[in-house]
Amino acid sequence: MVNNASALGRHGLHDWLLVRATAIIITFYVFYILVMMTISDTITYSSWCRFFHLPLTKVFTCLTLFSILIHGWIGMWQVLTDYIKSLAMRMLLQLAIIVVLFVYAIYGTLVVWST
């Protein structure tokens, strides 16, 4: 059995709720993009630029980005705790994943707000 040394005080219900909440946010974002594509006559570069210049779209895109990162982190944490039995190896892999997700968060936020 895997001990909770790398759980950082989290509980299963907390993770379950976060995964469900982030999945709902991601689903709403997909519908938001699909509605934009449906109501547009033609989708051009300028129409995408106008769409992503809207503050609502920028905030919603950043919220979705962070939801994807949280969703991914919980999934990876669960896979690592299930399949990597060595605590040192698991912690090293978790650190690498955290660094990558942190870089994604910074880079994604810069891309969204620079449009």
Positions at the binding site:
71, 83
Q: Could you tell me which of 90, 96, 93 has the C-alpha nearest to residue 6?
A: 90
Query: Residues marked as binding for a ubiquinone?
Result: 83
Query: Residues marked as binding for heme?
Result: 71
Find the radius of gyration of the CA atoms of the chain.
Answer: 18
Q: Which two tokens stand for residue 3?
A: 């001990």
**Which residue in the block uniquely carries the two structure tokens 């997909």?**
30
Q: Could you tell me which of 10, 1, 3, 5 has the C-alpha nearest to residue 74?
A: 10
